[in-house]
Amino acid sequence: MISLLNKLTLYIIATLIIAVSFTVNTSVASMILVTTTSDESSDNTYGSNTGAGVSLREAIFQAKNNPGDDDIFLDTSSTYTLSIAGRDEDNNLTGDIDIDDSSGTVTIHGKNAIVQAGTNTTNGVDRIFHVVSGTVYINKLTLRYGKVTGSSWTETGGVIHNNGTTTIKNCTLHDSSAEYAGGAFSNLSGTLNIIQCTINNNSADYGGGGYNGSGCTLNITNCTISSNSTPGGTGYGFLYDDGNVNIINTTLYNNLEYSSIYRRNGTVIITNTLIAGAVNSSSNAGSINSGGYNIIGYNAGGTFNQSTGDIVGTIGSPASIGINTSLTNNGGPTNTYALLISSNGVDAGTSSGAPYRDQRNGTVIITNTLIAGAVNSSSNAGSINSGGYNIIGYNAGGTFNQSTGDIVGTIGSPASIGINTSLTNNGGPTNTYALLISSNGVDAGTSSGAPYRDQRGYLRSSIDRGAFEYNGTPSSAPTNINLSNNSVIEDSSTGTTVGTLSPTDSDSNETYTYVLVPGTGSTDNNSFYIDGNLLKTNAVFDYETKNSYSIRIWVDDGISTYEKQIT
């Protein structure tokens, strides 16, 4: 028996849940459970005995006070409303949630919860998140009703204002506003990665969806971007750019005012992207470059540098991006526009630089992306570069540097991106525009760099352009976690490897992350840590004192997880 060798034994019992986490722990991360949906600050205090429990705001306080990485867990499908009025302070006491933690990565596990700055579009107390510094991951959240007023650059970004290194994945950012710029986001002095997200119905005077600042990097991959607007009439329905932007395998539809993208400075490259309508609407905008294989409605006046595989229409005959125009659940964590089988984007993208998955699971570079309408609306805007295989309605004025496979229309004859224009549930966690079978985007993308899954999390077959894979198939969740060894000799030093973790999963080419998580059976989590796929000790064990331990683990394949209780 193992006990005769004075070894500690871990017995494994499995249960299946659906969840997502990002962090690979190379040390023991702090795990913080948010236990109340109330908004409490408690003067920089936190704890279950303070107020109604641990609020999201208090969890951020706790993360700042803990050295190293922090994992914050929200309750599945709950709604958290910010209610403490007060703007323009960065100490997390009022208004938005201020994240200022340079000691490690702060990961917020949303678990399909809603965080809102108010109860409707008019009464938001502030934006939702302000990343003051540090590295932040935000996953599986709906973020809405942010409201920012004022005319300075510090008063931008209706949902998030970023000054750190932030990744937002599997989230929906909608119905938020900024009086000045960046209705959904403002990347003012950092790097912002937006992956497999839907950004819709946001507004600002400049960049109804977002603003990217000088010297900043904005990466948008596998996203659906629609119905963002500039009600003041200043223009550029989705993005106003002064930095470096790279857009790949993304669908832009019905973003109002002059064009979808305006590049004033920096660089813009689009690849495998669908843009319905105009791009680059002003002749004084900077050029927009194509990475190839885009479908673009038309170029409205600026320079769009086409590349291989681009389809670009004209203003009189915009290119169709070939999507179902109902933004809906097509599978995956966010709503998408489904690509129609007729779309020119189906199987027409490039794999070079394309993400492994579609949305369902600065330089501006767009690849495998559909843009209905115009890109780069002004001729004095910076260029947007193509990574290839985009379909873009047209270039509206700036420079779009086309690449292999790009389809770019003209202002008179915009390229059709071939989507169903109903933004609806086509599967996955967010609404999407479905690609039409007739779209030039179907089977017309590039596999180079293409995501393994689309926006919905569906597995790609032949690579389509845009965020929706017409012939995509739902991915399978892991069904087991295997531990190569479940015992360790007593008195072994801290950092001793207990065993190697591996999943049972019918899908191939997956990347897995293992995380110790709170919950039933997590009593001894602090006695272990996970380094990549290795379970290691975080203490020196004495058999006579205690000979069995209980921990709880998630394995994440990027879409779903399998949870194990180890006792």
Over residues 456-470, the pLDDT tens digits come to 888 888 899 999 999
pLDDT of residue 23: 35
What's the CA gap between 462 and 12, in Å, rounded? 39
Whole-angstrom CA distances from 370 to 208, 348, 419, 474, 508 are: 19, 11, 9, 22, 28
Q: What is the dihedral of CA 509, 219, 446, 282, to 10 degrees?
A: 170
Closest CA to 198 of 461, 378, 560, 457: 457
Direct distance between the N- and C-terminal alpha carbons of the chain, in angstroms, rounded to an integer: 17
pLDDT at 344 over 70: yes
pLDDT of residue 331: 66
> What are the structural domain ranges in the chain?
31-145, 157-473, 480-566
What's the CA gap between 88 and 367, in Å, rounded? 38
Domain 480-566 adopts which CATH fold?
Answer: Immunoglobulin-like (2.60.40)
Confidence at 93, pLDDT banded by 50, 70, 90 = very high
Edge-to-edge strand list for the sheet holding 528-531: 480-483, 497-504, 534-537, 528-531
At 36-78, the pLDDT tens digits run: 999 998 644 544 445 778 999 999 999 999 889 999 999 878 9
pLDDT at 6 over 70: no
What's the CA gap between 473 and 331, in Å, rounded? 9
pLDDT at 81 over 80: yes
